[in-house]
Structure 1
Amino acid sequence: MCNHSKIIFRCNHVRVSEKPVRICLVQSDYISGVGSEACDEVRSHPLITVRRPSECGYCTDKRSRLDQTLKEAKALIAGVKATLKGSYGMVVDEIVEVDVDVTTEEAPDHEVGEERDIVPELDPVQEFLRKKLAAKDAHLMMLGNQI
């Protein structure tokens, strides 16, 4: 059981060195020619374990690819917004909350002589049942005479 140094990265990936820091008796016997087999066990010791505050190479590459993809997507969205702004003259860049004061009375946006159509308030349940009874397979439903 040879002791190898170990590096623990911020992403919690672990890298163990290939060369041992301290060789065991089995490996030293193999090197001297007395032993028949080399040591296959890799062991690390807390005193030769190092924590790195950076990410491993794999995670760094993965993060840079993701950042590049996000950068390309943001550029594409900005291009589409510019195209829409050029075509229609307006694009909502962000959600804007508007606080409207109900007590203030504004001038009507229609002419005085013009009549406005008044839509009656519909009961949502009655409207739902009316639409269901108008469906082509209404005879299969058990809605009854609710209307």
Structure 2
Amino acid sequence: MVEINTLVVAASCTSESSSKTVELPRVSSKDFHARRGTIVGLRNVVIKLTDCTPMLDKITLSVSGLADEDLPSMFKNTASSQESAIGVGLIFMDSKRKVQFNPDGSVTKTYKPDAQNNAVMDFIAGYIATRDEVIPGTFKSYVTMRYDYE
């Protein structure tokens, strides 16, 4: 008789932290040139996943958040003060600018862990004019990342 004991675990990775704060650069309302869709103040964002389960084939990422009322494909400025910027939202895309994530979570991107069972995800975040007129003020936005492991 042979007795075999094992434990079946769910595939996963360890995130460097449960949350990350990214400071976008200060910009002037004039930088938007009074034109909806103008993108300024881009900043690189790097998310590192480590200790991924060996034999993990892929990680599918989806991003979600609150949609801007004027440009629903962009993330909303959630700054709550009366001095918050108006007419500006957040654009969030992969570092090659080929995949632009939408607040509704409908856009995904797939990553493959490297030989050391880590995955590095590079993104770009920035401001986007959601109206022709941008009124200066404070800015804050949130994106939620969901990882599906296969």
TM-score by length of 1: 0.17
| Greater RCO (Cα-Cα under 8 Å, separation 6 or more) | 2
Higher CA-based Rg? 1
The structure in which a higher percent of residues are strand is 2
TM-score by length of 2: 0.17
